[in-house]
């Protein structure tokens, strides 16, 4: 989704803004623009395309001036054109504005402003904000902004400057925005990576708050203009984590980080026969024993993690679980009460649908536990408790390390609930903890198969379709494998429960259809999956199997074998998904796709 970076200080603003904007590219965008103030002179440059290309074409970085705002746009209102790219201005050209979000009452406001003589240059909802500020401007920018904001319905994160004021105004409602506090300089940004190299001190703006930044000061106000004091927080991530670190793409780097990430996710949260998350989960033992139902809400890959979580929790903690697409949850009047726990899963913590589902559940009395990667995000702040995945910044649009770390947190919750409810005896808790501790090394051994997986990708990268099959706890892994391939390589892929194939998709099978089957060894579905593989083989399908190391049975009947070490049934998905991530990555690279910035996709989907 769109990204904002703003700067006010002693340094030249443009290089800082463009450097920050490049760090936000992963959010997904189609055009970009920048504006600086050089001694009351307004300089604006914008165009469609990638920042790098625009910079080459019209040189964004060498603009003069120490105050500026910049933006990368993911179109919502109005086509992808230079005119619709931000910043936008008022009639006088003195008020400049960048915006993330959607103004829902924009057409009504636009006709009102047009009647008053305002002339619009773009088709965007954003431009009306500049004119609304102009309409209310009587020499005090903050007052004009406050009056304008009162008229807006919808979501916004805003950066606003005026050519006659040495200040930068930021405002937020339902769209993330942070203030970075430097020494003699201050920043605004949609996300942490943009300012990570410049400061680690941040203030997270809340809904209906504005901030007035000068180079030496930051003041916060509510929409009535009442001054607010807020805690300055320290970002734990470091600038190196947001670099590619020698890898060709962030996606590959993040796949390879998984052993280290998982070690971090479990660090300090395990004892020999205990899981130490009671302080984070903030539920008393009595409350845990009273849980009647768990609803997991999430989107995309995080939803797949929820499906795996459903198996974990029902099997080990014996609590009924439903997994809901967050986008559907609140449109069917869900039955939720005070004995329902809702687990919201989100890497970014800003997914609009997940946030809306969380609010709906909270309104109905449910306790909200969230599993989030980005500290200070909206979902983090609005939950009763948060268990952080500690995956570090995930920049690749295709989620990889966030997924496996979400699974680890779900496992920790499961074992903890099972223990407290008395359904997992101490010995079993001990075994489950031991299984978990094996994971980082086992993941490392899967990653060592990298070249072998790459060779397989070479044989399949020209295909146009693929089917992914799995059963039981591996069905969500089939979904996740298919999603990874789709989003980065644009190959049509479907994930299906292996046995359901007979009820329709089997018609698709011929020698051109690669079928990826998760066929790891267990006592539950393994034998059945072997039969499903035979069904594919007898119709000429080409089978690539993810199988347990040393398994001879699968090897005999499939065409391609990718191995993972054995762990418990419940933890195998964390290993089985890695070859699928690598496979999707290499197929996409071989097809020449922009792996870290797939077309049409946004890293954090902040609009519904």
Minimum Å distance from CB 398 to ligand M6R? 4
Minimum CB separation of residue 253 from ligand M6R in Å reads 15
Least distance to ligand M6R from the beta carbon of 425, Å?
34
In 422-518, where does DSSP find H-type helix? 426-447, 450-460, 475-489
Output 17 or 604, the one with its CB closest to ligand M6R: 604
Shortest Cβ distance from residue 178 to ligand M6R (Å)? 16
Beta bridge partners of 515: 467, 543
Distance separating the N- and C-terminal Cα atoms of the chain: 12
Rounded Cα distance, 575 and 558, in Å = 20
The verdict on whether 35 is a catalytic residue reads no
Please provide residue 181's backbone torsions phi and psi, each rounded to the nearest 5 degrees. -105, 115
Sheet holding 95-100, edge to edge: 88-89, 95-100, 156-162, 168-173, 209-213, 218-222, 227-228
Indicate the residue among 394 and 547 with the shorter CB distance to ligand M6R.
394
Considering the complex, state which of residue 258 and residue 354 has its C-beta at the smaller distance from ligand M6R. 354
Q: Which is nearer to ligand M6R, 300 or 514 (CB)?
A: 300
Q: Which of 92, 99, 4 is nearest to 42 (CA)?
A: 92
CA 88 to chain centre: 27
Residue 423, token pair as written in the block: 């359904």
Q: Is-catalytic flag, 2?
A: yes
The distance of closest approach from Cβ of residue 399 to ligand M6R in the complex, given in angstroms and rounded to an integer, is: 4
Element (H, E) at 544: strand 542-548
Residue nearest to ligand M6R (CB): 300
The nearer residue to ligand M6R, 131 or 401, going by C-beta atoms, is 401
For residue 283 the two structure tokens come to 């539920």
CB of 588 vs ligand M6R, minimal distance in Å: 12
Q: Which of 379, 291, 404, 375 minimizes the C-alpha distance to 338?
A: 291
Distance of closest approach, residue 486 Cβ to ligand M6R, in angstroms: 9
| Among 103, 151, 144, CA closest to 127 | 103
List of residues contacting ligand M6R (CB under 6 A):
299-302, 346-348, 351, 354, 397-399, 487, 601, 604-605
Q: Which one is catalytic: 110, 375, 419, 603? A: 603
Nearer to ligand M6R, 301 or 474 (CB): 301
In the complex with ligand M6R, the residue whose CB is nearer, 336 or 577, is 577
Helix (H), strand (E) at residue 260? helix 258-266
Cis peptide before 87 (omega within 30 of 0): yes
Instruction: Give the span between the Cα atoms of 397 and 369, in whole angstroms.
Output: 25
**What single DSSP character describes residue 206?**
P
- Which has the closest alpha carbon to 571: 499, 517, 522? 522
Total residue length of the chain = 608
Catalytic site positions: 2, 603
């Amino acid at each position: 989704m769109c990204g904002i970076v703003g700067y006010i200080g002693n340094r030249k603003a443009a290089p800082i803004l463009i450097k920050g904007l490049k760090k936000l590219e992963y959010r997904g965008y189609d055009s970009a623009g920048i504006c600086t103030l050089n001694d009351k002179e307004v300089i604006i440059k914008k165009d469609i395309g990638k920042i790098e290309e625009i910079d080459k074409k019209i040189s964004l970085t060498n603009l003069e001036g120490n105050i500026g705002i910049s933006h990368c746009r993911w179109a919502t209102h109005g086509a992808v054109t230079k005119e619709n790219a931000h910043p936008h201005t008022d009639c006088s050209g003195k008020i400049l504005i960048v915006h993330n979000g959607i103004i829902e009452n924009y057409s009504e406001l636009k006709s009102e402003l047009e009647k008053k003589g305002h002339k619009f240059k773009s088709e965007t909802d954003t431009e009306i904000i500049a004119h609304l500020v102009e309409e209310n401007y009587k020499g005090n920018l903050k007052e004009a902004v406050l009056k304008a904001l009162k008229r807006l319905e919808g979501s916004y994160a805003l950066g606003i400057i005026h050519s006659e004021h040495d200040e930068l105004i930021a405002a937020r409602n339902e769209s993330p925005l942070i203030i970075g506090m430097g020494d003699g300089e201050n920043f605004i940004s949609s996300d942490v990576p943009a300012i990570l190299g410049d400061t680690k001190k941040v203030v997270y703006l809340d809904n209906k708050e504005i901030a007035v930044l000068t180079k030496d000061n930051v003041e916060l106000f509510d929409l009535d203009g009442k001054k607010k004091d807020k805690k300055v927080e320290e970002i734990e991530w470091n600038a190196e984590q947001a670099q590619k670190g020698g890898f060709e793409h962030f996606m590959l780097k993040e796949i390879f980080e998984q052993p280290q990430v998982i070690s971090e996710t479990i660090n300090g949260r395990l004892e020999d026969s205990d899981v130490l998350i009671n302080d984070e989960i903030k539920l008393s033992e009595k409350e845990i024993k009273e849980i009647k139902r768990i609803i997991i809400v999430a989107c995309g890959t995080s939803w797949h993690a929820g499906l795996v979580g459903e198996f974990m929790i029902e099997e080990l903690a014996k609590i009924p679980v439903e997994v809901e697409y967050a986008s559907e949850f609140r449109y069917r009047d869900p039955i939720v009460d005070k004995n329902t726990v809702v687990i919201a899963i989100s890497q970014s913590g800003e997914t609009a649908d997940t946030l809306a589902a969380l609010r709906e559940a909270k309104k109905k009395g449910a306790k909200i536990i969230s599993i989030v990667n980005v500290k200070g995000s909206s979902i983090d702040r609005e939950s009763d408790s948060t268990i952080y995945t500690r995956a570090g910044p995930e920049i690749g649009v295709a989620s990889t390390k966030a997924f496996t770390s979400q699974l680890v947190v779900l496992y920790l919750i499961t074992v903890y609930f099972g223990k407290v409810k008395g359904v997992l005896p101490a010995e079993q808790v001990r075994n489950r903890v031991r299984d978990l501790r094996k994971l980082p090394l086992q993941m490392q051994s899967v990653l060592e198969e990298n070249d072998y997986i790459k060779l397989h990708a070479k044989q399949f990268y020209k295909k146009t379709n693929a089917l992914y099959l799995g059963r039981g706890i591996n069905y969500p892994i089939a979904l996740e494998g298919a999603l990874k391939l789709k989003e980065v390589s644009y190959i049509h892929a479907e994930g299906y429960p292996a046995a359901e194939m007979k009820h329709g998709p089997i018609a698709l099978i011929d020698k051109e259809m690669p079928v990826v089957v998760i066929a790891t060894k267990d006592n539950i579905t393994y034998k059945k999956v072997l039969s499903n593989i035979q069904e594919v083989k007898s119709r000429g399908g080409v089978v690539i199997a993810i199988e347990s190391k040393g398994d001879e049975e699968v090897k005999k009947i499939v065409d391609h074998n990718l191995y993972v070490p054995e762990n418990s049934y419940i933890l195998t998905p964390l290993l089985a998904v890695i070859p699928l991530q690598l496979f999707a990555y290499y197929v996409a690279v071989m097809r020449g796709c922009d792996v870290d910035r797939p077309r049409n996709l946004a890293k954090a989907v902040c609009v519904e």
